[in-house]
Structure 1
């Protein structure tokens, strides 16, 4: 069955390689970013022209946009405005050689999920790529060794993981309302972090700890940390479904 136009715009094609559009007018930066992303197993497409980048982002299915802040004819912000006006909600990351605090705040307000400072390392790209593909994060989605060590044996681990999956499904359903209540969210994340330890959900534990740290410190969670948490939440739910035997 063909995908709808909206699905194509949001990059929802099933069973396809994760596609990233990289827009950068500097040939060296563009070459490094695209090749490094390809080394991570992503399908990276490069653009040196802002108008062409916006057109491709609207017309083709991408899961992530990496947009340079300073390009002839309009940088990251102008490209993203065109993309959003066309109804495309693809995750977007702004790249630049420098970000002062006013610029950071403006880019987040504009709708960017994260910022990437250039020059960058492979670890920085892995962090950015994990926003759309949690398996690229440094942590495994599930760590059986940790889970068995915490729970005592495999049978107990499986029982705990079954309970946790139900808990995560409920959290996913209630997320929109919970995200509007920082105090409630902090409490929920505190309990979730303990469950992650018993069940060996390593990736979700890392994302939960980051989000909790921002909330406890009185910060407004960045769009990147929220997107990373939700992505890890869904990846963990799927992994637990495969991990827990069908009764």
Structure 2
């Protein structure tokens, strides 16, 4: 991996991860390490069997070796993305390899991989890619009143903070076209917004921010960022604030 993510960005639900690798040692290490990090793991010794599993099971994350002899990671991803009935057709996918130069990494990212995992890797590297899984945000409430009250102290203060928070969400939504094209500006706004989420109990949006921050920290800017999911969560939170 090229950078590490904040450990708070790791998913809180139990992610279900598919690991495909034709090297038995790598497969064993990745499986055991992901178990240690709290994931549920399915192992595949090749690309064809990985594709079959991804078609029939809903995984939160796929980690695919680039050089499996029967079907490489690129081919698995291409087949999966063109199989709308596959249960893992839109799951975040990571390409793994022991040898990739910068151009090869860019090619993989442009093809639709969310990240590149360079082997040998560490537990921290795997924690970073695990943060890319889709297991976290969907299990969080839009607004957690108990959490917000604990942070703000009184219902009156909570409502006042939520009013300011709502206006910030409106501003981000209005400026979205520019922000989504400027990684540095987006990172700065996300940093401020995540703190506000804590004060206001915006649990689901906070998790989407963590996911987006993780992508940006991995330096894969402009490639398969979960922008659509983030903006949807932002608008859902705005609606919840209006209704509260």
State the TM-score, normalizing by the size of structure 2. Answer: 0.64
Gaps of 5+ in 1: 1-15, 136-141
Q: How many residues align?
A: 205
Q: Aligned-pair distance for 1:166?
A: 6.8
- Once residues 210 and 79 of structure 2 are traced to their aligned partners in structure 1, the CA distance between those partners, rounded to angstroms, is 36
Other-structure match for 1:48: 45
Deviation sequence 1:110-145 (CA, Å, 0-9, x none): 11000111111111111111112458xxxxxx9x8x
Gaps of 5+ in 2: 1-12, 138-143, 200-205
Against the structure 1 CA distance between its residues 191 and 43, is the aligned structure 2 distance closer, same or farther, given a 3 Å change threshold?
closer
Superposed CA RMSD in Å reads 4.2
Other-structure match for 2:188: 190
Q: Does 1:30 align with 2:31?
A: no
- Once residues 125 and 37 of structure 1 are traced to their aligned partners in structure 2, the CA distance between those partners, rounded to angstroms, is 7
Q: Aligned-pair distance for 1:34?
A: 1.3
Please, which moves more after superposition, 108-117 or 85-94? 85-94
Other-structure match for 1:100: 101
Contact 1:197 1:205 (8 Å CA) reproduced: no
Structure-to-structure mapping, 1:113-152, within 5 angstroms: 113-132=114-133, 133-134=135-136
Contact 1:21 1:44 (8 Å CA) reproduced: yes
Please, which moves more after superposition, 46-55 or 196-205? 196-205
Q: Does 1:154 align with 2:147?
A: no
Against the structure 1 CA distance between its residues 199 and 56, is the aligned structure 2 distance closer, same or farther, given a 3 Å change threshold?
closer
- Once residues 210 and 44 of structure 2 are traced to their aligned partners in structure 1, the CA distance between those partners, rounded to angstroms, is 36
Q: Aligned-pair distance for 1:168?
A: 4.4
Q: Does 1:18 align with 2:15?
A: yes
State the TM-score, normalizing by the size of structure 1. Answer: 0.64
Deviation sequence 1:194-226 (CA, Å, 0-9, x none): 343455478747954974996xxxx84343xx2
Contact 1:22 1:45 (8 Å CA) reproduced: yes
Q: Aligned-pair distance for 1:229?
A: 10
